[in-house]
A and B are shown apart, each in its own frame.
Chain A
């Protein structure tokens, strides 16, 4: 009887241990942002079946303790129990935080962990981007590149909407907002799986060529490309590219659009590549990855377009608004975070609120 009671108590203790959760936010001593407060309310680990959900809900209150305006920030979310893929991040783009100001960052993630593995979560600063495009942080998640591209898109889009306001007035700006909202609502997306490395293929395969959207101002020209198609899976894309600029290129991203049997097009994925491409040189980028679409999807055509180019001097090229006005890109490419933020402001505060916001930049 005593041994049974002891075992019963042990079971409770183990269950209780499985639900305990430790969490912390890590900022370096000379971080340009200071943690003023953190509220972990709502963060817990709940055992369900053979696993438990770790809901990470944190509200961080940060102060910009640098002398520059903060434009974006990224935190890595790590679990101490390392899994092959257990790394995430939370980024907040389109900020405009003046020195000394306080701003919030919300973190809302759900991790599913196996019972017995423990639950410890660390939120660690990966990078801060400033208005002069300088950067602070370990950059272990390449957040510098990502946030720099977002900031360039933000500047491009704000300029675009300001120009509309200048040339077509409030009515023109309103039409542009409604157009953007309509595109955001219309965007369809069937869901997808992505597998890295060689996937096992049992169905017959065929080669399908990429068509490429012409973007005359892009420093990279994609000239040729194929992927292997098997049922609703596309894998092993290979694309030939040429550097038609006068500067050496070290990074590029190609958007991969897929068309199904019903003629619906959607942006399936991006194909990033670190390259070393001198002016005038050509190269080939290849990826050992597979995209799987729902079983009812039959891939009929693929289109590629150059979406980002990084030069060795650290600068980037992104498509202009004129290029993005291509009929197909308008349907498939998501508006930038800044454009989405501006449409939110328009929805909440109306046209005048939007105009006031645009005047700040």
Chain B
């Protein structure tokens, strides 16, 4: 069996595998799948091999190396790395070289992990299919290359499914880790808001964004979380809550835990196969000794509109800095400063980004703030209260990740609202700031993966992963390799 992250890690620490070999293997796999999947925006071979050589030297001298020494990782292209470029999938940051590393990148590198690639994404995180990539073009789903991998962390999800032995950093604002994980048969973790530092994550919607990981298993997610989680003085929204040994925690049993099934998450119009696989998954938990409760999250139907509004408003402000003055794309021969701004932005941004910026500016503009943004924030409170109430009764909430499975490329891209609809079951986690994890619970007759999702209490990321891990010990959906793979 192809070694996963933990095996690679152990092999390097025990001297059975060198960092150079581990990195070389990573590039082998990445290059093998790239023509079919177009999952990366950049391969960082030179710097990765140099770092690997240094780690091997340290290992040779018997020096202390980090917990993840020699383990390769990819970073979604909206996460700043000094190495290579950071474009957020946008033409407006085409050649942008960040003068600093994101805190999560620093933490991984401090533990000896090596960045091998930046992954493709929907521009600035806006999209659910990675068709909105302004730099590379669409990423394909390794289960069916005519279909989308989901988004916006489409590149990371495709790689999590089609490669082994590396970590994949993604980001999740309304489901951008969990939904592509579901579509690609991977396990995607969005931690509690504030669990992981956002410093160095190109902001989309500041009160919703979180960095997370997409991996082959919940256990790998837990290992990664232990390293990247923790308070960061550079991010005022990162929590003081101490980190835990998540890899250890997930091994504790799940018998006696209580899971709630919210009926609002099996809405009308949900793909019946998604619904069936999800219910089968819930049955599996029952067999594991988990108590299943029927619960209600009554404000669920309002979650998606609330999300669309709040994220657009915050994005319109966060993306104002992309103006052709201090970095990024500048339109040619500007006729004045206003022309410089307006043409650089209209030429540099893709259509979905421009739409959202305008919606955002509209809802924040004078006279509309109360009716729109302020109102949305109040509704968000109602959604939070729904979760507070339910979490007094159960330890976690379980539901399908998306109402549909991976859809064909081009099917939804011309109808933004149709695209927003696939996020309906993931956005509540971001609104309520709770952690969420998606993992495969089966396949459709078309052999497309179906994702099951668990929401945990604030800062109970460990308990939530415990449930996913227990599920994965009892099933093998997450082990099924996709048709397109590098291993």
Does A pair with B?
A: no
Interface residues of B (CB under 8 A from A): none
Interface residues of A (CB under 8 A from B): none
